[in-house]
Amino acid sequence: MKSHKIFNDPVYGFIQVPYGTLFDLVEHPFFQRLRRIKQLSLTHYVYPGALHTRFHHALGALHLMRQTIATLRAKDIYISPEESEAVQIAILLHDIGHGPFSHTLEHTLIKVHHEELSLLFMEKLNEEFNGELALAIEIFKGSYHKPFLAQLVSSQLDMDRMDYLNRDSYFTGVSEGVIGYHRIIKMLTVHEGELVVEEKGIYSIERFLTARRLMYWQVYLHKTVLAAELMLIKIMERAKELIRTGHKLPAPSVLSYFLENRNLSSADFHAKRDELLQVFSRLDDTDIAAAVKEWQDNPDPTLSFLARGLANRRLFRLEFSYEPFVEEYVESIRKKVNETPGLPPSASEQLVIEGKETNTAYSASHDEIRILMKSGKVMPMSELSDSTVSPRMFTKYYLCYPKI
């Protein structure tokens, strides 16, 4: 009798999922749905290989968690069988609350943070699985008495970050994100209940932090990707507005549900949990993509302009600046947009987008990576490295508008 199912993964070779609760969770429609949610939203418009999904990422993070548990146990750190399974469940489901296009549409379709939704899904699943997820939920919420278990799920050095850097590098082909995860995992240990890194691992940690920071600017906040994502947000906002004002828009029924029931809040999700989770779990990237294509011919000029642009990759221009944009400059752009033939005279309200992004790859202020020195002392990473691991905060302003 085989004890586990094997998944193929080009990043790690093979991923083993033990039969039992873990495998049953993978098989659940709530989890299978993650197959239709891309990890990196519209990044594939710049890195065409970046089509990998939350499903694959969750399995990858599980794989790293299993390696880490084995490593810690080999260092005589006690993790009971129940804790081991629970922390695996927690990492497997940590992103289960993500909606279509992940972060891009996070606050556009509904007003609930994905982590809160993940917790709601876990609680619903806990009922279906007769309480077998109780300990996982405790760890996920950070209320379990062994903090290192929660830190493996969510911290500056968790399995989530470690997998996504590997995986995003692999599928984008940006070697800058490759991290020595083997080496990092081997250096992890536990000190007074907290996750720490052995001293000789500091260079690998530095590399990990550099990789993460660079991936931010090179991939996650790539200006063309950001332009595409802003267009998608504008499309959804416009669609909601059109429906609010009585227009009809063809769309898959689950998407229509959220366009019509605007701004569902955390309170709504707690009040009607089962119904809303059911509908939400039917919604994914394919509905959005199909709708955007459908709306290319919509009579509303703003919606169709945006939809045609996104579907055929006629993307907006996006300018970055270290300073806020000068009002006169923005005004001149708005004017040009408003005067564009075929667009309504107030088009710039929808189509000229200002904002800012901050590189928050690593912040020293709280939740710092801790190093266990050979002397036995624990030091925060930022006080150790000969590089500066906590770079000064860094904000870029952007201005995004049609190429006209």
Q: Three-state SS for 372? A: strand
364 alpha carbon, distance to own chain's centre: 21
Considering the complex, what minimum distance in angstroms separates the CB of residue 18 from a second copy?
11
274 binds a second copy (CB under 8 A): no
**Measured from the CB atom, is 97 or 100 closer to a second copy?**
100
One-letter amino acid at 100 equals P
Q: Using the rule CB under 8 A, is 252 a contact of a second copy?
A: yes
20 binds a second copy (CB under 8 A): no
Cα(50)–Cα(173) distance, rounded to whole angstroms? 9
Q: What are the DSSP calls for 14-77, one per residue?
A: EEEEETTHHHHHHHSHHHHGGGGSBTTTTGGGTSTT---BHHHHHHHHHHHHHHHHHHHHHTT-
Q: Is 211 an interacting residue with respect to a second copy (CB under 8 A)?
A: yes
Cα(365)–Cα(358) distance, rounded to whole angstroms? 15
User: Per residue in 390-404, is it b (16+ CB within 10 Å) or e — as a string?
Assistant: beeeeebebbbbbee
The whole-angstrom separation of Cα 155 and Cα 205 is 14
Interface with a second copy in residues 170-199 (CB under 8 A) = 170-176, 178-180, 182-183, 186
- Does 279 contact a second copy by CB under 8 A? no
- Find out whether 281 and 269 touch, Cβ atoms under 8 Å: no
Of 214 and 378, nearer to a second copy (C-beta) is 214
CB of 142 to a second copy, least distance (A): 30
Q: DSSP state, 383? A: G
Q: Which parts of 328-367 interact with a second copy (CB under 8 A)? A: 359
Q: Which helix (H) or strand (E) holds 259?
A: helix 253-260
Residue 289 interacting with a second copy (CB under 8 A): yes
Residue 29 region by backbone torsions, left for phi larger than 0, else alpha for psi between -120 and 50, else beta:
alpha
Site string for a second copy, 54-93 (x = CB under 8 A): -xx--x--------------x-------------------
Pattern 110-149, a second copy, x by CB under 8 A:
----------------------------------------
Q: How far is CA 240 from CA 165, 231, 233, 304, 348, in A?
A: 34, 14, 11, 14, 18
Report, in Å, the least distance between residue 141 CB and a second copy.
Answer: 28
Site for a second copy contains 17 (CB under 8 A): no
The reply on whether position 13 binds a second copy by CB under 8 A is yes
Residue 391 touches a second copy, criterion: CB under 8 A: yes
Q: Is 286 in the site for a second copy (CB under 8 A)?
A: yes
Which CB sits closer to a second copy, 218 or 266? 218
Per CB under 8 A, does 14 bind a second copy?
yes
The CB-of-49 to a second copy minimum distance in angstroms stands at: 5
